[in-house]
Structure 1
Amino acid sequence: MNSLRRYFSFCQESFLLVWNKRKGYVIAGFILGICLSVQTLVTVRLSKAVIDSLTSGHAQAFYMLLVSLMLFRIVADCMYSWKDHLDRTMDRVVQLDVKSDFVDSLSKLDLLAKEHPAFMQRSSEWELASGKRAGVYQRLNAIVQNVVILLLNNVFLLATHWLVPLFVLSIAIARIAIDYKIVPKRLKLTSLSQKNIVETGYFYNLLTGGPHQKELTVMGVFPFMKAKWLAKANEASGFQGQMDSLSIRARYFSGTVSTLGTTAVMGIVGTQVFASSLTLGDYVAITMAIGLVEGSIVTIFQQFVHIYEDLKYVSGVSTSSDEHHLPANTSRSIAPFPSFRQIEVKNLSFTYPNSNKPALNNISFTIRQGEKWAILGDNAAGKSTLIKLLIGLYRPPNETVYYDGIKQEQLNMDELWKNTSVLFQDFKQYMLSVKENVSLGVAEELCREDRIKSMLGKVGLPNVLRMAKGIDTRLGWLSDDSINLSGGEWQRLVLARTWMKNADLVIFDEPTSALDPNSELELLQEMLNLAERKTLIVISHRVGIASKVDHILLMRNGQIIESGTHELLLKQRGAYFEMWEKQAEWYVGKSKEGMTG
C-alpha cells in the first residue's frame, strides 16, 4: 500500500512540477491529446463507411466519404505535428527550467558539501533524477490519451461482438506479461550503467580536454588513460548491450504473440463476413480498432512501468543532502551584518568529513579593522581551511567565529560575502572577456571602463589594454578569436578583480604563487598600497610579505605555533626565524635588512 501511495504521490509531484511552470502548455497538450484520441475512432468509422460504399456500388457516397477521410487525415496529421511540436517545445522548456532549479539548489549547498567525495557522483544522479520528474508528465499525458483511445474503440468493438474485446485484452495481457518479466533486470542494468557515467566522462574529458594535454604528453600516459577510459566505456557498453538484448527478445516474443492472436481474431471476423453477418467495411474497421485497442493497453502498461522505473531511480537517489553528509546552506540570517571592526576566532577546531584527523586545532586570534595580517605555513598547515571557516564557506562550530561580537551563525552570510573579496589559491580561469573577468561579482557602478583599465595597469597588465579588442578581448579557447594568458597573467587578472570589488575585507590565498620573488615583492607592495584602510589577510608559504604586515600567524599541522610581528618573531629565533633565513635570499636585489625595513 505504501508503494502504491508513493507511486501516485510521485505522479502528482511530477505533474505539478510541469503544471506550476507551464500551465498553458499543459492545457494545450491535453486538449490536443483528447482530439487525437477521438480522431482514431472517427477514422475507423469513416474507413468502414468508405469500404461499405465501395462494395455496395454507391459511387457518389464513396467519393464524398473518401474526400472526407482525406480531409480528416490531413487535419489529424496537422494536429499530430502540432502536438509533437508542442511536446518537444515543452520538453526543452521544462528541462531548462528543471536544470535552472537544479543549479539554484546546488548554489545553496555549503561549500563543504560540494567538496565532499560523494558530491560529483550525487550531483550527476540528482540532475538525472530531476529530469526524470519532468519526463513523467509526458508519460502521464500518453496514458490519458491512450485510455481515451482504448475506451472509444472498445465501445466500437463491443458493438460488433462482446468476445472480440476479450480476445484483444487476452493478447494485450500476454504481451504485458512478457514485458513485465524483464523489468527487474532492466532496472538493475540501468542502475549499473548509470554508475559508470561519471567515471567514463572523467577519463574521456582527461583525454580530450585542453588543460590536461601538456601533462599527458610529457608523462606519456595517453595509452594508460585511454585504457582506463575504454575499460569503463566497454563496461557501460556491455550493460547497454544486455539491455538491448533483453528488449529485442521481449519485442520479438511480444510481436509474435500479437501476430498470432490478432490473426486468430481476424479469422473469426472473416468467418462472420463470409456468413454475411458483418460487412467488408466492418472487417477493415474491426482490424483497425483491434490494433488501436491492443496498442493502447500495451502502451498504458509500458508508460506505468517507465514511471515505476523512474520512481525507483529517484527513490534510490536521495535528494536530501543531509543523508549523504551534504549540509544544505539554509538561511541563518538572524542579525544584520555589522562591519569588520573586529574579527575574533575563539578555540576553533575543525575536522573534514571522512577524516578522523583535525584540520584545525584550538585556533584563537583577533583581527581589528584596517590591520594587515599574514598567515604563513607549509602545505597542509590548515591556512586555506581557516580562511574558509573565517568567511563562512565552511560552517565553523557554534560560538567560535565572531564579527564585532556577533556570532557568525547568527549572520546573513550573503551580506558578509558582499563585503568580502577573496583570491583563492586554486582560482579558475573563466573563458569570458577581460572586462567580464575583472567585473565578476563586482557591483555595476564600480565597473566603469576607466576604472578597469586603471586596475589592470596597477596589477601589471598594461599589455592587455593593447590587445586588438582591448578589454573586450575574449580569453581562453572557446572561440577562434580568444587569447590565452600565461599563469602569471591570469593571476594578475584575478588580482585586479579582487581589488575591483572594493570590499572591506580582502583575503589573498597564495596571491603570488605564479610569480618570481622580485615580481612578488613589487606586487605585494602594490597590494599593500591598494589596501589602505581595508582589513587585509594574505596566506602564503613564502615570507616575502611578512615584513610589511602588522601581524603574522605561523601555522603547522592545523595549529598556530607562533604569532606576533615580524620583528618579534625574528627575535624569538624560532620557526619563523628559520623560514626567514632560508627564504630571504630568494628575493634577488633585496638584502635582509632592506626587506625588514
Structure 2
Amino acid sequence: MSQEKSSQRTNLWRPIVAMVFELWRAHPIAFVVLIATTVIPGFSYSVYVLAMRGLINALVESPTPGAWDIPTYMLLYIAAILVEMTMNMLRPIIMVYLRDHATHHIQSRIYEQAANAPLIRFEDSAFYDCLRRADNNLGDRLTELLNGLLHPLWQFSIAASIAGTLFVVHPWIIPIMALGIIPSLLLQSKRAHMVYDVQRKHTLTDRLRHYYQELLTDRQAAAEVRLFDLSRFLHNRWTHSWRTREKDVLNVYKRDSGYHAFGGFWEWLSYAGVLSLIIYSVVMGQATIGDLAVVISYATRFQNFLQGTVQSVGNILEHSEFLGDAFEFFALAKEQEKEPTEKIRPSHIEQASNKRQGLAITARDITFTYPSRTDPVVKNVNLQIKAGEKIAIVGENGAGKTTLVKLLIGLYTPDAGEIYMVDGDMDKRPPEEVQSRVAAVFQDYAKFDLKLRENIGFGQLDAMSDDTRLYAAAHRADILDIHSDLSDGWDGYLGRKFGDRDLSGGQWQKVALGRAYLKDADLVVLDEPTSALDPKAELALFERFVDLTENRTALMISHRLGAARLADRVIVMKDGQIIESDSHRELLKLNGEYARLFSAQAQWYQ
C-alpha cells in the first residue's frame, strides 16, 4: 500500500515537471524572463527585513546614531520597492505572452496526434474520453497552472528571503515553523487526489449531462423532443447526473474543511513556539529589541507565505492532474499511432489520370472486430475488385457493409488478413498509401456550418479557390441551386450557426457528394443515401453516380437494392460475411438471399 501511495505522489508531480518542460519549449526566453520577474521581488524582502532591523537597533542601542545609518537603510528600502514595482509591472505581460504560446503549442500536439490516430480509435470510448479531457478548457487550465506555479514561487522566494534573516536572529526559528507546515503540505496532496478522482469518475456523467442539456435546447431535436414528450424525461436525467456529481463534490469539500482545520492548528502551534523562544532570548540578553520586532513582524509573514505556498502547491497538484490528461492522451495516441507512409499524391499520378481506369482492390481472408465488441464484424472475407468495376454491396442493416468498405479504403486496419490496391501504373500498395486517390460519401457524412466554397473545397484543398472546378463539382452533384440561392454565392454560409441558409438532409448529402466529385478520385464510395432520400430518388442518385464515375472504380452501399441493377457485380453480405457475389441477373436466378431481398423491395421501384 505504501508503495502504491508513493507511486501516486510521483505520478502527481510528473505532469508538473512535464508541463514546465512544455512551457520552456513553447518560448525559452519568455520562460526565463517570467521566472526572473517572479523571484527577484521575493528576495527584496530580505532588504526590507535587514533595513527595519538595522533602523530599530540603531535607534534603541545608540542615542546618537551615525549620520549615515538611517539614510543608508532608507535608500535600501526605497531601492527594493522600485525593483519590486518594476518586476510586478512586467510579470503579467510576460505571463499572458507565454500562456498563449504554450496553449497553442500543446493544443497543436493534441490535434496533430488526434489527426494521426487511426479512425478506429474514435470508436473506443476510453480514447475519446481521454481526448475530451485533454482538450477541455486547456487554456484556462494552463492559466490556472501558470498562476499556481508563479504564486508559490514568489511566495517561496519571499519566505526564503525572510528565512535567511530569521536564521541570523535564531537558528531554531525556521525548523520549528517548517515542522508546523508539513501536515498541511501532506493534506494538500491528498486533497488534489480527491478532487481529480471525482472529476475523472464523472467524465461520462458530465458528457451525458451536457448532451441532455443540448437535447433540451437544440433546434434540430426540438420537434422529436416535443412529439415524443421527452422534455420531462431528459430534464430528470440531467438533474440526476447533476445531483450525482454534486454529492461527490460536496463530500470532497467536507473532508477538505477538516484537513484545513487540522493543518491550521499545527501552524498556530509552531508560531506560538517561535514567539516564546524569541521572548525568552530577549529576556536572557541573547537577542535585541530589533530581533524581537523582526520576529513579531515577519515571522507571521513567513508563516503566511509558507501557508500560501502550501495552498498554491495544492492548486498546482489539482490542476496538474487535469493537465496530466494531455500527457495521458499523448501516450495513448502514441500506442497505436499510424506508421508514416509515403502517400501517392495527385502530382504523382498525372500521367495515369490521362488513361484513367480506376483502382483494383484485393482482400485476402480479412477479419475485423471493433474495440468495444468481442465478436468480429467482418469475418474471413476474400474479395477481388477489378479496376473500373462498379460494385454494389448490399445486405440488411448491421451486415458489415460500411465496415468492410472502410477496411478496403484503409480507414480501418484488419485484425487479420491483407488488403492491397493496384492499377497499371504502380505496384501493389496498402490502401492507406493511396487515400489521396479515394473519395467517399458515408451515411454519417459531415455537415460543416461553413461557406459553400469550404464545404465542397474540403474535397480537394488546392481547388478551393478555383471557382471553375467548384462549379463543375456542384453541377455533377446537382447543387447549383444552392449556390444560386446564397446571396454571397460560393462564400455564403450553410447552416444556422453563422448564416441563415439551412439545408434538407438530401441537400446536405448532395453537398457531401460534391466534395467527392471535386477530388476527381480513381475510387469513389457512396454509402447508404437512404436516410435522406426515398427509394426512387435514391435510384436516380445512383444512376447519376454511375454515369459520373466512368473509368473509375465505384463502390455503392445500400440495404435497398435499386442500385444493384446498375452495378457490374453485386456483393451480398450477412453477419459480416460475403454469402453471394455475381451480377444482378445471375443472383436472381440463384434464388438465394439476394433474390429474397429484391423480391421484398421490388414494389418500391415500380
CA displacement 1:283-342 (0-9 Å, x = unmatched): 554344324432444455556666666777788999489989x96132163897999542
Q: Is residue 422–residue 506 contact of structure 1 (8 Å, CA) maintained in 2? A: yes
Q: Superposition pairs for residues 60-139 of structure 1, below 5 Å?
A: 69=77, 72-73=80-81, 75-127=83-135
Matched, 1:367 2:362: no
CA distance in 2, matches of 1:9, 1:207: 41
TM-score normalized by structure 1? 0.84
Q: Which moved more, 1:115-124 or 1:272-281?
A: 272-281
CA distance in 2, matches of 1:121, 1:331: 23
Q: Is residue 129–residue 313 contact of structure 1 (8 Å, CA) maintained in 2? A: no
1:539 to 549, 552, 557: 557
CA distance in 2, matches of 1:193, 1:582: 47
Local SS of the residue matching 1:561: strand
Compared CA separation, residues 47 and 533, structure 1 to 2 (3 A): farther
Match of residue 525 from structure 2: 507
Matched, 1:476 2:485: no
Q: Which moved more, 1:536-545 or 1:181-190?
A: 181-190
Q: Superposition pairs for residues 192-591 of structure 1, below 5 Å?
A: 192-194=201-203, 196-255=205-264, 257-259=266-268, 261-262=270-271, 265-266=274-275, 269=278, 282-301=291-310, 319=328, 328-331=336-339, 333=341, 341-404=359-422, 411=429, 414-445=432-463, 447-466=465-484, 467-479=486-498, 481-587=499-605
Compared CA separation, residues 7 and 321, structure 1 to 2 (3 A): closer
1:34 to 23, 30, 39: 39
Q: Which amino acid aligns with 1:34?
A: V
Runs of 5+ unmatched residues, structure 1: 592-597
Matched, 1:23 2:28: yes
CA distance in 1, matches of 2:43, 2:281: 27
2:166 to 140, 157, 161: 157
Q: Percent identity?
A: 23
CA distance in 1, matches of 2:599, 2:181: 86
Q: Which amino acid aligns with 1:567?
A: R
CA displacement 1:240-299 (0-9 Å, x = unmatched): 222223333433444455456546645665687799987776555434432443244445
Q: Is residue 334–residue 411 contact of structure 1 (8 Å, CA) maintained in 2? A: no
CA distance in 2, matches of 1:341, 1:189: 52
Cα RMSD over matched residues?
A: 4.1
Q: Which moved more, 1:21-30 or 1:283-292?
A: 283-292
Q: Which amino acid aligns with 1:244?
A: Y
Local SS of the residue matching 2:585: helix
Q: Which amino acid aligns with 1:235?
A: T
Q: Is residue 423–residue 508 contact of structure 1 (8 Å, CA) maintained in 2? A: yes
CA distance in 2, matches of 1:149, 1:106: 43
CA distance in 2, matches of 1:446, 1:569: 43
Runs of 5+ unmatched residues, structure 2: 353-357
CA distance in 2, matches of 1:80, 1:426: 53
Q: Is residue 528–residue 558 contact of structure 2 (8 Å, CA) maintained in 1? A: yes
TM-score normalized by structure 2? 0.82
CA distance in 2, matches of 1:175, 1:446: 60
Compared CA separation, residues 144 and 553, structure 1 to 2 (3 A): same
Shift of 1:531: 0.9
Shift of 1:413: 5.4
CA displacement 1:543-569 (0-9 Å, x = unmatched): 222222211112222222221112222
Compared CA separation, residues 87 and 171, structure 1 to 2 (3 A): same
Local SS of the residue matching 1:404: strand
CA displacement 1:184-219 (0-9 Å, x = unmatched): 655654544556433333333333344433322221
